[in-house]
Amino acid sequence: MDDYRQLLENNQAWAEQLRLTEPEVFADMASGQSPETFFIGCADSRVPANSIVRVPPGDMFVHRNVANLVHNADMNILSSIEYACSHLKVKRIIVCGHTECGGVKAAMQARDYGVLDPWLRNIRDVYRLHALELDGIQDDNARYNRLVELNVEEQCLNVMKYSSVQSAMHAKPEFSVHGWVFDVKTCLIKDLNIDFEKGIAEFGKIYDLTGQMTTLAHQS
């Protein structure tokens, strides 16, 4: 059997297994979705969202792109965030980067990647914002790993620049944004424990779209 046919065979076996071993999940599939988590990750084949946190279908709303970027002119991520916050009313948003990210590595090279360049420029901008810290790291791999983390942090801040996210944060005190890095060598997740109170206080007065961000910073 060729690899393509195998994919469809696998699907039949998976569906049957789900029906037998998790009948409640199977029955819920057709009745709608009410995920509490919105996961924004890299499209890398080694970072399958549901698998790495071992949750069944229906538990996470997922958006993935090259290098887990949250760009202000990307209708795709914009629509996903709007739908997640205003309609699904998720409780948390997670931005998950990963080690050995080809997108981040490419952005650190002085090379022309053609149509990829406008996308990768977002990561180059993150480097520029943190050039003082990054240029001070002598080891190439350590500097690259730090950029993976800083990229996640910046994308988390970008998430909070959307009005639908700001409204959700204000409406639900428990609403949270998290930054993670998945290590492809250990398959373990590192929670960056990003200090969002500091982030909100710093950028609230600039990016506040709802007149509520500064209030949030004072409340927290």
Smallest distance, Å, CB 95 to Co ion? 12
Cα–Cα distance for residue pair 58/34, rounded to 1 Å: 7
Cα–Cα distance for residue pair 63/47, rounded to 1 Å: 12
Q: Does residue 101 touch Co ion according to CB under 5 A? A: yes
Q: Does residue 147 touch Co ion according to CB under 5 A? A: no
* Nearer Cβ to Co ion (46/128): 46
* Nearer Cβ to Co ion (101/169): 101
The encoded tokens of residue 47 equal 């970072």
Instruction: Return all residues near 157 (Cβ < 8 A) that are at least 6 apart.
Output: 199, 203
* Nearer Cβ to Co ion (47/85): 47
Cα–Cα distance for residue pair 81/101, rounded to 1 Å: 23
DSSP state letter for 139: S
Smallest distance, Å, CB 30 to Co ion? 33
- Residue 19 phi, psi dihedral angles, 5° rounding: -60, -40
Residues marked active site are found at: 42, 44, 46, 98, 101
- Interaction with Co ion in 23-62: which residues (CB under 5 A)? 42, 44
Count of chain residues binding Co ion (CB under 5 A): 4
Cα–Cα distance for residue pair 149/54, rounded to 1 Å: 23
Smallest distance, Å, CB 169 to Co ion? 27
Q: Does residue 107 touch Co ion according to CB under 5 A? A: no
Interface with Co ion (CB under 5 A): 42, 44, 101, 103
